[in-house]
Chains A and B, each alone.
Chain A
Amino acid sequence: MARAFDWLVPRPLLTLTLAIVWILLQNEITAGMAVFGLILGIIIPWGTSVWWPDTPKGFRMGKMALYSLVVVRDIIVANIEVAWIVLTVPNAKLKPGWIVVPLELKQPEAISLLAGTITLTPGTVSADLSDKGHCLLVHVLHTDDADAVRDEIKNRYERRLLEIFE
């Protein structure tokens, strides 16, 4: 039974996500739509599994939910901070700069999640990855202390992501 389940639903989370997206697209919840969403959620991962051979094994859903809350809170704070910088800091006094963040994360999924988080939060945009994937290049809009920003990225986001993808 367990093997049949693994064969039918190799990625349960992806199946669930696709089913939920389908239901949201319909904008109403009916049994028929839920079943069709589930069918799509089974067919799509099955048909596309060739293109993602190494999916992460461990993925902690609870920690991910907590992480999303932290990120949403940071996005709101970031928006106000960046809006304040746009309105008050003149161009001549702006101190943009590059930061190099050495990565402890190994999985591509985890690194892209970190890069996405960095782009969505306080005055930082992730710009590039080093050729073998051990460093992330981040651009900061306005900072006095680049090392502090790097440490914040490592402590606040990367540590949590390391716990999510073990």
Chain B
Amino acid sequence: MTSETLLLYGATLALMIGSAFVIVGVLGLMKFNDPMTRLHAPTKVGTLGIGMLLLASMLKSMAAGDASIHELLIMSFLFVTTPISAHFIAKVGIHLRACDTPPSPTQDDTWSTLTTPQKNQQSAV
């Protein structure tokens, strides 16, 4: 068995694992019934799923004899931006009171999302 075949087998395996994780992520997004728990499925399962798909792309390009390293960059950008978008979605959830009210912080007055002036909101925390 040549190394090229081995690399292709590796790429296939990575593709399969990656797609499995992406499917689980989508299932989680559909299954959970509250915005905060829904947020968990795509942020976690998406990173490894897409990471594996990118690994497959790298292995495939290596097998074709033209190694590509763009994927590393995509992966690192993804890892840097995923928490930020998750953070913003969570902030919107807290702001719109779409989830359970969070407990008040132990050291400061309140959460920064809740410090904005509130009109038309009865439930003060």
Contacts and interface: CB of A to CB of B under 8 A. Distances in A.
Nearest to B95: A128
- Tell me whether chain B's interface is mostly helix, strand or loop, or mixed: helix
A92 B48 CA distance: 27
B43 A120 contact: yes
Contacts of B33: 91
Nearest to A84: B24
B62 interface: no
Contacts of A75: 44, 47-48
Contact of B45 (A24, A27, A82, A128): A82
Contacts of B113: 128
Given A94-B37, A139-B36, A126 B44 contact: no
A84 to B, nearest CB: 9
B: interface residue count bin: 35 or more
A118 B94 CA distance: 18
Interface in A96-118: 96, 98, 100, 102, 115-116, 118
Interface of A: 21, 24-25, 27, 75-76, 78-79, 82-83, 86-87, 91, 94, 96, 98, 100, 102, 115-116, 118-120, 123, 125-135, 137, 139, 141
Contacts of B37: 94, 96, 141
A135 B106 contact: yes
A29 to B, nearest CB: 9
A125 B73 contact: no
A137 B44 contact: no
